[in-house]
Amino acid sequence: MKTPYKNIYNVLKLNRFIVLAVVVCALLSSTFSVWMVFNTNQKALNSAFAINTDGSIIPLKLVTQKENFRVEALAHLDLFHNYFYNIDASNYERNLEKALWLGNSSVDNLYRQKKADGVYNRLLQYSLVQKVLSIDSRISENDGANSFTTTTIFEINRGSIIDTYELVSTGNLIMVDRNFPNNPHGLLITNYFENTLKKLNDES
């Protein structure tokens, strides 16, 4: 007995259905895989991991890291500006030495320029007291680089005369190894520049 041949059109329809089903499944599978990779990548970018003392893995959110960096950066800038500008005849050498640990050669160059201009000699000669009244820093991030603008209000006491000044300075911050107590925040000021200095009063 001969086996009857199937209708060629039915066979083609079945083959086309199978091909379409395979293609659709492949597209759905590929789309799901791409979504899973993207989702995993986003989670990885927003998280970091540390090993606890007991060997367990601790997830650390990137947002928290950025918040911690901001706190450390503000504290670093506050420390630097206090050391660099809050000086008098009795503490200026000690304070400036501490300030130089917190910045790179741009800070050292500024210090040397001030020294060459006789700023510290006048401090000693006239027993001047330079006191920081307030420090306001703003930090911004651009293409992975962290820059800052700091407004420092300080007064210079000349005995019978007290002058108040506003200094606006800028620079960048980079991360380095912590060095306690010289650099407790593990940051370094680079490209430091005193932009503007203006006198706020004419008290006498």
pLDDT tens for each residue of the chain, 204 residues long: 555 555 676 767 777 788 888 888 888 888 888 888 777 766 655 555 555 556 655 555 555 667 788 999 999 999 999 999 999 999 999 999 999 999 999 999 999 999 999 999 999 999 999 999 999 999 998 887 899 999 999 999 988 899 999 999 999 999 999 988 899 999 999 999 999 999 997 644
Look up the CATH architecture of domain 59-200: Roll (3.10)
Can you give the residue ranges of every domain in the chain? 59-200
User: How far apart are the C-alpha atoms of 93 and 77, rounded to whole Å?
Assistant: 19
Of the candidates 101, 114, 120, 113, which has an alpha carbon nearest to the alpha carbon of residue 182? 101
Q: Are 115 and 92 in contact (CB under 8 A)?
A: no
What is the token pair recorded at 75? 């504290």
